[in-house]
Structure 1
């Protein structure tokens, strides 16, 4: 368990929400909802906020410090050791590091450093399901006696099975005094409406653009990010950062992650490969072999999704999100929209297939054939 998740600095766009929540919690008669939902796209800092909130609420010295957990009391020491008796987290078997997890803000997960990089990459994509037995174990935790606040965190709550979600409903409908349930979800639309109606949603999605730009610029400057091919230091002006934020759905942590990824510098090459496949000057097998040597299938899928989003905008005669890409070579031969939709649907199917240990090569080969036909 990474202690930094509990004691990381508050993200700039979360200041006002943090102040409102801590003020309410410190008021003698202030009552917070017994169930909270932190939702929104990956990369807005939901988990960073939740783990910090968990640590502060459990901290023995929170009355004297509304800025965050002290890091020194018995409760904070338990968090650092990963043995806090008043905290339960699901899914227990999670081995994830999402786009919201960076060196300063990591989700609370144990990872095995001896595993191969490919296996670790796969684990990042597979979200363990929250099953009914997991929820039942939480119910036992909720009803056990304690003189302190107890907190249950349901990470990736959208992965709950129907049976697990229905079991959780009972707990939500019969709130227990001194217990707070916190749900975290990247895809809140996948949650049952009956669950969403019984939780208080945290205002985490409205991010001031100036805060976002300043944060991304600072993080990229601190990291000294270099171009993957030339190894020269990349400079980011406001326009480049705005573009990153646009294609990351205004998710600053995701924008940083994208800029630092290898695939982001290969967007022009993706376009060249696609054109070569369409003109039959390169075979799908050769293209697949090349890209397999460059990127994992998950990285290539992420790259393809970003590029296809622009292709679809061009089909509708809308300006591309990525103004640093020259699309002039494809403007006279844009594909039919239905073919774009079909490929996007295939990509979603491929993502699901990868969670079931389908070989990357098979997906890569199929992707290249479908790009040729696009």
Structure 2
């Protein structure tokens, strides 16, 4: 029969091990190792210790030998397991992520990059986070090329930040092709531990166009749903604005460059109603129109997950949302000065130009 190596303890060592074995303030693993050493020092064999502590004999043998080799330090630290971790070349990781693409793909994933560098996907993810890299995301943008960009920018931002007295500033636009969508099957409601469900496919039940004018001062919205969005419908909406605003107020309307807003019939009507003053956003700069923020809210809060079996049902839901909004409206506060926006656009144009020149060369 194979005999385990003997352990002889000094009084100080036994006292320290006994303290560890009884302590409730240290890890359970360390307390168990201390018990193994104490029982071994009492002359028990590995098999007996394993049976008494209900653990494996190999585990007992390991910690007996570790204590003989390194005394207390031998049982205080875990054995190294497996191969040492592969060190990530962070500089190369960043270079590949920002300046190259994987074969037959548009962007890197953690698994593709891990395979390229011979490291784990978790390591790639960790270093991407540390360096602020998110190759799975892409944000849309478009820099305006309007030759009157600066003039229009300063005009509209000036209306936001210093609205004229005895006047109303209204941000106007159409949200076209709002669809009345019904789902092909009923979804399940939200409950603890499960999100609400909705089928991916749907039935189209027609569309409507939402015309809206957002009052910059107080957040009130004048709105109207119409079947189409031609100049005829735009004129109808202008008449609604005329009816629902104080007659003694000048109206500054901010709108985009959609041809409907500049139709000759519209121009004639505006000439007969001089209290209406139009301010057009630069081309490719719809973000300057604050009504877009309201359109985002109604889309996310009421339309995107709504179920509508008909266009009248959709219009009713839109009207109810706007009526609720107008009971306690909140204005959107514009904080960015025109010069700050202009500097950002200049920087973007500079980067785009340098990128284009580099591509050409």
User: TM over 0.5, yes or no?
Assistant: no
Kindly indicate which of the two structures has a greater share of residues assigned to helix: 1
State the TM-score bracket (shorter-chain normalisation).
under 0.3
When normalised by structure 2's length, the TM-score is 0.24
Which one has the largest radius of gyration?
2
When normalised by structure 1's length, the TM-score is 0.24
Kindly indicate which of the two structures has a greater share of residues assigned to strand: 2
Q: Relative contact order: is structure 1 or structure 2 higher (C-alpha 8 Å, sep ≥ 6)?
A: 1
